[in-house]
Amino acid sequence: MNGKIEFVANYSDLSTEKGFQFEFNCDRCSTGFRTRVRPWTAGSGSSVLDAAGSLLGGVFTTAPDVGERGRASGWQKAHDEAFLESVQETRAQFMQCPSCSQWVCRRSCWSSRRGLCKDCSPDLAVETSATQASRSGEEAWAPAEMAEEGTKLADGDRRETIVASCPNCGAPQSTHAKFCPECGTKLKGG
């Protein structure tokens, strides 16, 4: 190892004192890949020392000793190596878009033909098809929405929005009036 570890932002560290595991996710669709667990053998020794320390009244845990610092250093080194292996193992599953810098999965969110993620370079055939399907759905629901609107008008909204007027003078009329209060003309239905 050359001292530098290339890392990415689209991962979660699932490591414990017993082993190392990482999960990498697509920034666009959240598809994920989890690496296999890489056991850390010194982790079991750490648990034994911790158990011994608690049984003997904390003799091993009262002051930080060189062994504990060595274990922490060993764990960090093993963690870094496992992380580097995990990045290399999952690299083939992801591409970084040169336009937006998102890490996206090759399978669903990467356009090999354009060399960009599908957010930066959407597939027009797919987008057109999705738009057509959406419009078809809207058109299918339109008659039902119109019928629902008609039902609302019949239930009383109509009285608030439609106002009867006198055919002779045009004055607004109250419901069920027999004569126009302005000109006295007999109204139909009254």
Encode pLDDT of 112-123 as tens digits.
899 999 999 887
- Position 153 scores a pLDDT of 59
Q: Quick one: 91 and 20 in the same domain?
A: yes
- Position 58 scores a pLDDT of 46
User: Of 70, 97, 124, which marks where a domain is finished?
Assistant: 124
- Please check whether residue 138 lies inside any domain of the structure: no
Q: Quick one: 120 and 169 in the same domain?
A: no
Q: Quick one: 119 and 173 in the same domain?
A: no
- Please check whether residue 17 lies inside any domain of the structure: yes
DSSP for residue 28: T
- Please check whether residue 135 lies inside any domain of the structure: no
Q: Quick one: 74 and 118 in the same domain?
A: yes
Instruction: Give the N- to C-terminal CA distance of the chain in Å, as an integer.
Output: 98
Report the domain count for the chain.
Answer: 2
Other Cβ atoms less than 10 A from the Cβ of 10: the count is 19
- Position 144 scores a pLDDT of 67
178 CB-near residues (< 8 Å, 6+ apart): 186, 187, 190
Q: Quick one: 27 and 107 in the same domain?
A: yes
- Position 99 scores a pLDDT of 94
- Please check whether residue 153 lies inside any domain of the structure: no
Q: Quick one: 168 and 118 in the same domain?
A: no
Question: How far from chain centre, in Å, is Cα 174?
Answer: 55
Counts for the chain of helices (H) and strands (E), in that order = 5, 9
- Please check whether residue 139 lies inside any domain of the structure: no
How is residue 11 written in tokens?
Answer: 């991962």
User: Of 124, 151, 176, which marks where a domain is finished?
Assistant: 124
Q: Quick one: 100 and 45 in the same domain?
A: yes
- Please check whether residue 56 lies inside any domain of the structure: yes
User: How far, CA to CA in Å, does 56 sit from each of 47, 60, 69?
Assistant: 14, 8, 20
- Position 130 scores a pLDDT of 72
Q: Quick one: 15 and 96 in the same domain?
A: yes
User: Of 124, 150, 175, which marks where a domain is finished?
Assistant: 124
Segment 30-62, tens digit of pLDDT: 889 999 999 988 654 444 445 444 444 444 444
User: How far, CA to CA in Å, does 116 sit from each of 87, 109, 120, 121?
Assistant: 21, 9, 6, 6
pTM for the full model?
0.50
Q: Quick one: 108 and 175 in the same domain?
A: no
- Position 62 scores a pLDDT of 44
Q: Quick one: 88 and 165 in the same domain?
A: no
Q: Quick one: 115 and 169 in the same domain?
A: no
Determine the structural domain holding residue 185 and report its residue range: 160-190
pLDDT under 50: residue ranges of the chain: 1, 44-49, 51-63, 158-159
Other Cβ atoms less than 10 A from the Cβ of 97: the count is 21
- Ramachandran angles phi, psi of 167, nearest 5°: -70, -20
Q: Quick one: 33 and 114 in the same domain?
A: yes
